[in-house]
Amino acid sequence: MASFITRRFLQLLITLIGISIISWVIITQAPGSPIALTIDPKVSPKIVEQMMKNYDLDKPIQQQYYLWLKKLFTGQLRSFKDGRPVMEKINERIWNTLLLNLVATIIIFSLAIPLGVFSAKRQYSFLDNLGTFGAYLGISAPSFWLAYLLILGTVELFGYPVLGMRSFVTENFTTAEIVMDRIWHLMLPSIILAIGGLAGLSRYTRSSMLEVVRQDYVRTAKAKGLPEESVYYKHALRNALLPIITIFGFLIPDLIGGSIIMESVFAWPGIGRLSYQAVLARDYPVVMTILSISAVLTLIGNFIADILYGIADPRIRYQ
Amino acid sequence: MENQQAKSFWHYFKRRRMAVGGLVMIVIMFLIAGLASFLAPYDPGKTDVSVKLKPPSLQHNVGTDQLGRDVFSRMLYGSRISLSVGFVAVGISIFIGILIGAVAGFYGGWVDSLLMRFVDTMLCFPSFFLILTVVALLGPSIFNIMVVIGITSWMGTARLVRAEFLSLRERDFTQAAKALGVKDPRIIFRHILPNALAPVFVSATLKVASAILVEAGLSFLGFGVQPPVPSWGNILTEGRTYIFDAWWLTVFPGLAILITVLSFNLLGEGLRDALDPRLRGRR
């Protein structure tokens, strides 16, 4: 186990260096990057000066990279737009995004696994085929389109506002009404954010279950007369769910990508909307910090998932 | 032998009705994209404010937009953007993926380790955000979008090709070619690659679907193909201001994206099942 963790940790370190290099290359070397703009006469000298300072352009290239890294990790990078520390801006918004993604993740896992098991149990039944087609629809539909259909539908039906984290006028609301209002505003974007993951994970659970129920130990359990339910939910499901641990790691980049679109549609004041506004305003320190943080979070998520998988399934450790 | 394989493949493929349906839809989409200028009842750029924001009718079968342009004609032309972005982006991504995967799998050792760490690194970035950032840096144009989607989505293909190469390089025919003194590039591309292409082809079909979705998402955020050139994504975006007055501006372009992406996904899954002998018996 120790050698397995060490090996994975070394890979993590190498990947971490890779992430920092790629982030830095994009921001400083790509055509059209802010650094390339410093020689553009249309850009005001004030901004050019700020960028020269931000990226230490007067220093040799390896030192530029080192200093950028140092600023990134010590939180010294400042937004081009309002000069505030990037970390402060991110800290204001990230909790809203985490709330949204937490609810979406709960929706995904609480619905996808029962759905997948149900489909596997009745393979090729009408409901299973319906589920398969539904999952394809969920994967294929553009999320922003679904969001607009949902907005169109709910506003026509209930006539109640859906954008933002809460309604604008809440002075004469009772506490219960305020709570209901918050939940309402949270549910719609979470549902749309969850659809893709729900479709994917339920299919994954289904095929994983189908693979497991063909195994010898499941046949043995059936042969020794265990009740069907017990075979399915105790013996088969536990083993079928093992590979799903690794999905947790892959969920992070998808949710971040999804948040950009969902938070823009629903005017949700989170990190996704902040990134989009930063991209629009060409506020590169903010963009690059969020991009690097997301990459590092994904890396850590994958690392933890790998270790958990190694603990849960000893076969993995010796690959 | 080749012919026999093709026959058996077709035998299993045609039994998957949803996949055949997807293939038919894709062919129809291509015909629509190719013949858009003949099929379109109106000039997609022609504005006529006297008929602005009219609901679907006999004259304009999916209505008109805020400038009185015929939405149906705009959607027919918009299919060209979606399909060409999908295919060119995936072409680029497959090319890079095959190259990196083949080199990593064929040579193994530190070359393999290095390239696979590069793959891991690229996979850590949230791809949609990365694409959005780089397209914003370079400036939105159809060419930039294709290239950026291509160079940020090759990792899956690389892993797939590497895995195939790792097993194929140990096989007798590769060893025989090596013993005969055939040069490495020729072994890689002539002897091994043709045997590794089937799974790549399947994943390419599925990737076209996701590339079309990414393009739609970029258009939605204003970094797609720029108006007045119509794309499904930007018709939707321009229509969202009028969502409560003109639902057809939102519903129909989205439906077009859904049907196209769905067709590629169904075809890809069908191909996967038909090419994988282990899955054949199941249905």
Model ipTM?
Answer: 0.87
Please tell me the distance from the alpha carbon of residue A186 to that of residue A103, in angstroms, as a whole number: 8
Q: How is residue B248 written in tokens?
A: 């057809």
Nearest to A256 among B126, B138, B209 (CB): B126
Residue A15 to residue B209, Cβ atoms within 8 A: no
Mean pLDDT by 10 residues, chain A (319 residues): 84 88 76 60 67 66 78 74 80 88 90 90 86 90 90 80 71 76 86 89 88 88 87 84 76 79 88 90 83 87 84 72
Judged by a CB distance cut-off of 8 A, whether residue A159 touches chain B is no
The residues, any chain, with a CB within 8 Å of residue B131's CB and separated by 6 or more, are: B148, B149, B152, B214, B218
Residue B137 to residue A33, Cβ atoms within 8 A: yes
Q: Which range is least confidently modeled, B71-85, B208-222, B237-251?
A: B237-251
Please tell me the distance from the alpha carbon of residue A246 to that of residue A194, in angstroms, as a whole number: 18
Query: What is the 3-class SS of A165-227, one letter each residue?
Result: CCCCCCCCCCHHHHHHHHHHHHHHHHHHHHHHHHHHHHHHHHHHHHHHCCCHHHHHHHHCCCC
Residues of chain A found within 8 Å of residue B117, distances taken between Cβ atoms: 11, 14-15, 18
Q: Which of A44-53, B45-54, B236-245 is predicted most confidently?
A: B236-245
Residue A144 to residue B220, Cβ atoms within 8 A: yes
Helix (H) or strand (E) holding B6: helix B2-13
Residue A139 to residue B121, Cβ atoms within 8 A: no
Closest residue in chain A to residue B242, using alpha carbons only: A152
User: Which of the 8 DSSP states describes residue A41?
Assistant: T
For residue B35, what pLDDT band results from cuts at 50, 70 and 90?
Answer: confident
Residue of A33, A136, A251 for testing the chain B interface, max B β-carbons within 10 Å? A136
Residue of A119, A145, A204, A254 for testing the chain B interface, max B β-carbons within 10 Å? A145
Residue of B124, B130, B205 for testing the chain A interface, max A β-carbons within 10 Å? B124
The nearest CA of chain B is from the CA of A174 a distance in Å of: 30
Residue B137 to residue A141, Cβ atoms within 8 A: no
Residue B254 to residue A142, Cβ atoms within 8 A: yes
Residue A145 to residue B257, Cβ atoms within 8 A: yes
Closest residue in chain B to residue A37, using alpha carbons only: B137
Mean pLDDT of chain B, nearest integer: 86
Closest residue in chain A to residue B18, using alpha carbons only: A133
Q: Classify residue B218 by burial, with Cβ atoms within 10 Å: 0-12, 13-18, 19+.
A: buried
Residue A18 to residue B120, Cβ atoms within 8 A: yes
Residue A144 to residue B236, Cβ atoms within 8 A: yes
Nearest to B129 among A15, A22, A257 (CB): A257
Residue of A8, A11, A13, A15 for testing the chain B interface, max B β-carbons within 10 Å? A15
Runs of H (alpha helix) within chain A: 2-29, 34-37, 45-55, 61-74, 86-121, 126-140, 143-158, 175-212, 216-223, 228-230, 237-241, 244-265, 271-280, 284-312
Q: How is residue B185 written in tokens?
A: 């590039």
Q: Which of A82-96, B21-35, B40-54 is predicted most confidently?
A: B21-35
Judged by a CB distance cut-off of 8 A, whether residue A130 touches chain B is no
Judged by a CB distance cut-off of 8 A, whether residue B157 touches chain A is no
Give me the pLDDT at residue B283, please.
43
For residue B103, what pLDDT band results from cuts at 50, 70 and 90?
Answer: very high
Mind listing the pLDDT tens digit for each residue in B112-152? 999 999 998 998 888 899 999 889 888 888 899 999 999 99
* CA diameter of chain A: 82
Give me the pLDDT at residue A315, please.
76
Give yes or no for residue B282 having a pLDDT over 50. no
For residue B218, what pLDDT band results from cuts at 50, 70 and 90?
Answer: very high
Nearest to B128 among A18, A124, A260 (CB): A260
Nearest to B81 by CA among B204, B227, B231: B231
Residue of A16, A148, A152, A286 for testing the chain B interface, max B β-carbons within 10 Å? A148
Match 């969020």 to its residue by tokens. A290
Average pLDDT over residues B59-80: 81
According to DSSP, the residues that pair with A78 across neighbouring strands are: A85
Q: How far is CA B245 from CA A104, A160, B70, B228, B239, in A?
A: 30, 17, 16, 22, 10
Residues of chain A found within 8 Å of residue B261, distances taken between Cβ atoms: 140-142
Residue B137 to residue A32, Cβ atoms within 8 A: yes
Judged by a CB distance cut-off of 8 A, whether residue A182 touches chain B is no
The residues, any chain, with a CB within 8 Å of residue A185's CB and separated by 6 or more, are: A162, A163, A164, A165, A166, A167, A266
Question: Does residue B70 sit in helix, strand or coil?
Answer: strand
